[in-house]
Chain A
């Protein structure tokens, strides 16, 4: 256990990659074996994440202090330009790591029904998991960037090969948007590299923690105009991922065309990378610009909430509705973060965690009905509640969780965001709270059209949700309830780090 414990983050990151390699070496016709290998390769990181949960010291903050990071591994990778393999976890990354491990495993189980080119599917999926894990553990900007980009390729293929009717369009749109964002990030990354120095060696550095100490910045990088430009470069890169209005147009296409399990990962984990990047890099490296742009960011957040909800209301496709609900929910994250209050920041992080679970449930459930009815038109159903009561119970639960019913995790997160932002942006918080009405409206209206009312005679013999599908959903139901009723364990996980982050940003005022 000693070796595993000291490299636990690397194991979580690279076990899926190893699984992918094994799968690629499997002979033809071993589809069942391939699925089991994939399940194992994603289950082991989940086991390790449980170990992380129990061994993580909740009193250490991390953020900008290297010694307070946990499970750290720090090696030189390319000495001539000081690229390092520097990974570690703190309260910002911990919830994301747990979420990624859980959703990846569930997504593999949820992909059991895939019968087309299963080998390629599972190998790419595991590669994607490696990219996601790697992004959340990286403390070296170069390493972060590589992992960030590594996610693009498998995602492109997973949408493009296994997706729906307009898969080609959706895949390339996703790819072009995110690549445009990340190339901007690359320019910022290089500009940071050449204008900062490692205080110990005096050499240029990719170490994110060095970037956070303003002493490491040279005179050029201290110029406010320059900082604004660099911040915006990063911000656009992250905003495309979140996705923030007006960079969100790739999302509905990608979500609708992606296979179910990939939508789950896309909404459950990938969107969080954007807000994670803001917390991990933008805010602590450019605290002054963050404060300067706090109000515009909050406004963007509110636009996302309202605009996403209105778009969702207008959708006739159930999956598109869920996709736009993600746009709406991610707006809460940005609003909470932009408030720069402890409560708002914790609320944003909580929302990332909670929305990851809720949206995963929603996409799974949409996939379940799509597998059976082969369409997702909201008006093409009706009265399904009579035929598939168990399924209806699950989707009802998920919808209520999503609209923020008390007792479920979404309520906690959104309340914290409101409370946190109300102190700073009173009007915006009120507008956002009113936005909740729209959020509730499109959920309830969709629920009513699909499950209530007179039964559509086409679906009198619709098949009930099966055991494997329940297996994917049950853990999420339990977690959403636990966090909704007793959020302290999760809050403890992130409190120290997020308080440090707020202090760090506020210190410049």
Chain B
């Protein structure tokens, strides 16, 4: 049933590509002795591009359990590998363009970025709690370094420090939860744990374990109340890294959340597209409450922010709340909605951050007031940012609307009306703070009216991010189909 180590290697090519790139970067760093050259950026692009290609060309079919059951190779994992690698690719482009990072050692930065990517690959495919824990740490530790990459800047150092403390606490609690599960079942295999738990009736330890694991995963996706780290980290980290945190690790966090809870604490009902709870522990309700809390806190606090990076940090907390709606429904359509949302979220959120990079390169600031008059200073960037922001709000004809429709639809389909209403009200609140930026850009006159030049390459990347945001708002069938195909998960 499980593939042995050697036979598994051929299903591990994307990971190899990333690992090889990391090693090459180390060598390049040593050999060239010019750590600031852009070569490392291009090399990383190539490596991640290769990883996407390798992940994409090898269809998972029915799925396999590889490396003696440590890792799954299934449609779900492939989806998240391509998604996180795509996010990394965009972030590398952004980083090459960012003034935050110019003048600092580049190779190390990309090494951390790619190590995180490797961690996300493993996190989205891990089927053994030991592997899962290692993968989570492989995502976290390079992230701490990325957050503190602006050595000498107080904010950046503070961000890294907070990140480490919160991260250590969260993963400590999580591993405690894992140990309870191991103690109950005697296995580290996720599927095996699920089967044993379904047979037993240990409600209280299961409740404890499910809550403790939720702390670890909740921290990764920045769900309230485990979100405290994220605004400070988002504000202090270099902007491209912030963009990365808001999409990549969050997506991987959702991957592991779904795979873990849907295997350990629920069982699939074949043929119906539904899961059922295997115990009396009503974790979906717990997460539904978290979801409502997350989106509400994220949106309400975002209203008061004056720093755009911080505002987007809170908005990304709110978006995690929206996506959690799909998680609590125990249906494959709910998971599909999460996957679809992650795709559109990738483009619109990275796009918004990219414009922030471009603007702060020129104005040296990230306050909303620095965006004043952007409509006349850099019309294209301003229009692009507006499109991203309205997409994040969920207004047609942009992709974010379709993402929200899928989430809302399944929530309503499963009859969780209260959650749909909470999310609806939240959307209206979010409009208010997103439009504060739009208002500054278009309705107010700038003090300094000089044009902000947008380099051709940056413009091209911006187009590449705007295009899917527009196109997926009008025709999204292929992505919906891919999401539906990717929900097939290993559960043996």
Contact = CB atoms under 8 A, between A and B. Distances in A.
Most chain A CB atoms below 10 A, which of B439, B475, B476, B484: B439
Contacts, number: 78
Interface stretch (A53-61, A177-185, A264-272): A177-185
A191 B432 contact: no
Q: Is the interface of B mostly helix, strand, loop or mixed?
A: helix
A146 B417 CA distance: 22
B424 A153 contact: no
Interface stretch (A160-168, A385-393, A407-415, A499-507): A160-168
A152 B394 CA distance: 12
Nearest to B404: A186
Contact of A160 (B397, B424, B443): B443
Interface string B364-399: 000000000001000000000000001000011100
Given A186-B408, A190-B408, A193-B409, A176 B396 contact: no
Contact of B412 (A149, A152, A180, A190): A190
A431 interface: no
> For this complex, into which size category does the number of interface residues on chain B fall?
20 to 34
A176 to B, nearest CB: 6
A193 B406 CA distance: 12
Contacts of A184: 424
A149 B401 contact: yes
Contact of B408 (A153, A160, A179, A187): A187
Nearest to A192: B412
A479 interface: no
A27 to B, nearest CB: 13
A79 interface: yes
Contact of B428 (A80, A160, A176, A187): A176
A194 interface: yes
B305 to A, nearest CB: 17
B409 A194 contact: yes
Contacts of B431: 175-176, 179
B414 to A, nearest CB: 9
A103 B435 CA distance: 29
Contact of A79 (B390, B396, B420, B477): B477
B435 A175 contact: yes
Contacts of A369: none
Contacts of B409: 81, 190, 193-194
B427 A179 contact: yes
B424 A187 contact: yes
Nearest to B481: A80
A175 B431 CA distance: 8
B439 A172 contact: yes
B111 to A, nearest CB: 41
B439 A160 contact: yes
Nearest to B430: A179
B395 A172 contact: no
Contacts of B413: 190, 194
A78 B484 CA distance: 14
Nearest to B376: A117
Contacts of A245: none
Nearest to A77: B475
A191 B405 CA distance: 12
A17 to B, nearest CB: 11
Contacts of B439: 160, 168, 171-172
A268 to B, nearest CB: 23
A82 B406 CA distance: 13
A205 B412 CA distance: 15
Contact of A150 (B396, B405, B425): B396
Most chain B CB atoms below 10 A, which of A180, A187, A193: A187
A168 B395 contact: no
A394 interface: no
Interface in B444-492: 444, 475-477, 480-481, 484
B166 interface: no
A162 B249 CA distance: 42
Contacts of B375: 161
A175 B417 CA distance: 24
Given A150-B397, A187-B424, A176 B432 contact: yes
B442 A161 contact: yes
A153 B442 contact: no
B476 A160 contact: no
A167 B481 contact: no
Contacts of A150: 396-397
Given A167-B443, A187-B412, A194-B409, A78 B477 contact: yes
A112 interface: no
B396 A80 contact: no
Given A172-B435, A186-B405, A190-B405, A157 B442 contact: yes
A307 B396 CA distance: 34
Contact of B397 (A146, A161, A176, A187): A146
Nearest to B408: A190
Given A161-B442, A171-B443, A187 B396 contact: no
B9 interface: no
A145 interface: yes
B115 to A, nearest CB: 38
A78 B408 CA distance: 17
B23 interface: no
Nearest to A127: B397
Nearest to B387: A153
A80 B333 CA distance: 12
B30 to A, nearest CB: 50
Given A80-B481, A149-B401, A161-B442, A172 B424 contact: no
B362 interface: no
B27 interface: no
Contact of A149 (B396, B435, B484): B396
A280 to B, nearest CB: 19
Given A145-B396, A146-B396, A80 B480 contact: yes
Most chain A CB atoms below 10 A, which of B409, B413, B484: B409
B443 A80 contact: no
Contacts of B480: 78, 80-81
A191 B439 CA distance: 34
B421 interface: yes
Contacts of A81: 409, 480
B325 to A, nearest CB: 13
B442 A160 contact: yes
Given A172-B432, A175-B435, A186 B424 contact: yes
A387 B431 CA distance: 47
B412 A153 contact: no
A185 to B, nearest CB: 10
A150 B473 CA distance: 12
A180 B397 CA distance: 17
A142 to B, nearest CB: 8
B428 A179 contact: yes
28 contacts: A78-B476, A78-B477, A80-B481, A80-B484, A81-B480, A149-B395, A149-B397, A153-B390, A160-B439, A161-B443, A167-B443, A168-B439, A172-B432, A172-B435, A176-B431, A179-B395, A179-B427, A179-B431, A180-B428, A183-B424, A187-B408, A190-B405, A190-B408, A190-B409, A190-B413, A190-B420, A191-B412, A194-B413
Given A190-B405, A191-B412, 13 more contacts: A78-B475, A78-B480, A80-B481, A145-B396, A146-B401, A149-B401, A152-B395, A161-B375, A167-B443, A168-B439, A175-B435, A176-B431, A190-B412
Interface of B: 375, 390, 395-397, 401, 405, 408-409, 412-413, 417, 420-421, 424-425, 427-428, 431-432, 435, 439, 442-444, 475-477, 480-481, 484
Interface of A: 77-81, 145-146, 149-150, 152-153, 156-157, 160-161, 167-168, 171-172, 175-176, 179-180, 183-184, 186-187, 190-191, 193-194
